Structure 1
């Protein structure tokens, strides 16, 4: 089934003290999910800001709440992320991470957000084992 994961984020970016030509950041977020998935989440990423001005990042998101009325939680891996004039990434529900009524969930899809990055959406194809 097709699901839209719509997030509202509070973002904290912390630079790491490294002696490189790149800027390396840890990014943490608190997430509010609205729409098909209703609940809360927490995210953590590592990001490298390239000299050209764009950032590459990867991380994990933990969701807890309901999806189409089923209660539980799961972990989303966010990879191939890129931040410049928009944020793009691929999302995948980590196999085996579903809990309670969301046990056996799996899925993936593209994530997209625009500045100021306080909100974003992922159109995901979801199945249950």
Structure 2
């Protein structure tokens, strides 16, 4: 496997509550992201978030549609992302959705991660190969 590293900048974070039954709250977020580093491109992300009693922690999951380049290959692919946010730190695990690669990214497989404080720039790593 090869490891890609770089940064993600989250833009246009639009998060709305879709249920509230205290002590729990569920939100849906739509996020635009810009990737720099070994992944160059843009992504659209949709997350479902489930907040705890104090709104200071949450579990989330969703899909990210990436469009851009990796290792000189251009195309799109989908990442399934799940993680948690606790004390201002988001920790996420990624899995590339099997069969989602298009164009030069067809056959892409792998997993990734990041841990980031609550700012707009995130450092990622993605272990990948092409099947």
2:74 is matched with which residue? Answer: 71
* Cα offset, 1:15, TM superposition: 1.1
* Cα offset, 1:69, TM superposition: 1.1
Which segments of 5 or more consecutive residues in structure 1 lack a partner in the other structure?
Answer: none
1:109 is matched with which residue? Answer: 112
TM-score (norm 1): 0.92
Bigger fraction of residues in strand: 2
Structure 2 Cα separation of the partners of residues 42 and 24 of structure 1: 20
Q: CA RMSD in A?
A: 1.3
The count of residues paired between Structure 1 and Structure 2 equals: 127
Structure 2 Cα separation of the partners of residues 105 and 5 of structure 1: 18
1:34 is matched with which residue? Answer: 36
Q: 1:5, 1:124 within 8 Å by CA — same for their partners in 2?
A: no
Which segments of 5 or more consecutive residues in structure 2 lack a partner in the other structure?
Answer: none
TM-score (norm 2): 0.91
2:58 to 52, 55, 69: 55
* Cα offset, 1:25, TM superposition: 0.5
List 4+ stretches of structure 1 deviating above 2 A: 17-21
